[in-house]
């Protein structure tokens, strides 16, 4: 499997100085930047939308990985693409016409992703695999940073890795929520290749050291 990518989640950054916060994780060795969009309906929290992403775009060369925790995401895909998203992930539970929505994301020239809540079944992905560039496994119930990792998702990650391998497609498998040095190793062993981490990186007093530590545990077999 290719190298594991580390994606700090901006949700745990200091919102008073976001461009500096992004530059700090970019210099610390991050691969992607994960941006959590929450609508206060699909999840009980509110964050930000396309104008903020657009304003941040010139301040970073990182891949902008936009995670839409919202109902009816298809209404806003164009705006997120225009704001500079490199990948857009929608929630399975929020998309009655998932096949169409993923096609719309790709038609905008953006990588397409589906996120699965901890309780969601992977079988719903069987018929959209040809529309997918990445799958995001939620290891917490979406809405907040700093929650406890839900162990039950580990076998789900393994099953998804098997599914991806059986199709011979190069679909990234990301895990989001409760990632730290201990859980990182377990989800990598289960087959994840993108690790999203909010508190473990942004709340650390030495972000470069935290990313190095994650890479060191990921390098262990
Ligand atoms: C939660 C978000 C996550 C969150 C992860 O709904 O999707 O991206 O920022 O935060 P940590 O790593 O602190 O659990
Ligand atoms: Zn997220």
Name the residue of 7, 36, 44 to mutate for ligand 1: max ligand atoms within 8 A of Cβ: 36
Question: pLDDT 10s per residue in the chain (221 long)?
Answer: 458 999 999 999 999 999 999 999 999 999 999 999 999 999 999 999 999 999 999 999 999 999 999 999 999 999 999 999 999 999 999 999 999 999 999 999 999 999 999 999 999 999 999 999 999 999 999 999 999 999 999 999 999 999 999 998 999 999 999 999 999 999 999 999 999 999 999 999 999 999 999 999 999 86
pTM: 0.98
Helix (H, G, I), strand (E, B) or coil at 189: helix
Q: How far is CA 68 from the centre of its chain?
A: 9
Q: d(Cα 163, Cα 141) in Å, to the nearest integer?
A: 23
Q: What is the pLDDT of residue 1?
A: 47
Q: What is the pLDDT of residue 2?
A: 57
Q: How far is CA 205 from CA 4, 40, 78, 211, in A?
A: 23, 30, 37, 12
Sheet holding 32-38, edge to edge: 5-8, 194-197, 172-176, 134-138, 111-116, 87-91, 63-69, 32-38
Name the residue of 196, 197, 207, 214 to mutate for ligand 1: max ligand atoms within 8 A of Cβ: 196
């Amino acid at each position: 499997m290719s190298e594991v990518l580390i994606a700090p989640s901006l949700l745990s950054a200091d919102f008073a100085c976001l461009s500096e916060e992004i530059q700090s994780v970019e210099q610390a060795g991050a691969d992607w930047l994960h941006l959590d969009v929450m609508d206060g309906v699909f999840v009980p929290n509110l964050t930000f939308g396309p104008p903020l992403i657009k304003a941040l775009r010139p301040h970073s060369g990182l891949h902008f990985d936009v995670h839409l925790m919202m109902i009816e995401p298809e209404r806003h895909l164009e705006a997120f693409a225009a704001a500079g998203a490199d990948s857009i992930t929608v929630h399975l539970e929020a998309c009655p016409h998932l096949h169409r929505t993923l096609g719309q994301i790709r038609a905008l020239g953006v990588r397409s992703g589906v996120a699965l809540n901890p309780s969601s079944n992977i079988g719903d992905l069987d018929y959209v695999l040809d529309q997918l560039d990445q799958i995001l496994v939620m290891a917490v119930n979406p809405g907040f940073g700093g929650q406890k990792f839900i162990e039950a998702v580990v076998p789900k990650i393994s099953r998804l890795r098997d599914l991806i391998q059986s199709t011979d497609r190069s679909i990234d498998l990301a895990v989001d929520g409760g990632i730290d040095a201990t859980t990182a190793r377990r989800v990598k062993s289960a087959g994840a290749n993108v690790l999203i981490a909010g508190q473990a990186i942004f709340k650390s007093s030495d972000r470069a050291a935290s990313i190095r530590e994650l890479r060191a545990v990921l390098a262990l077999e």
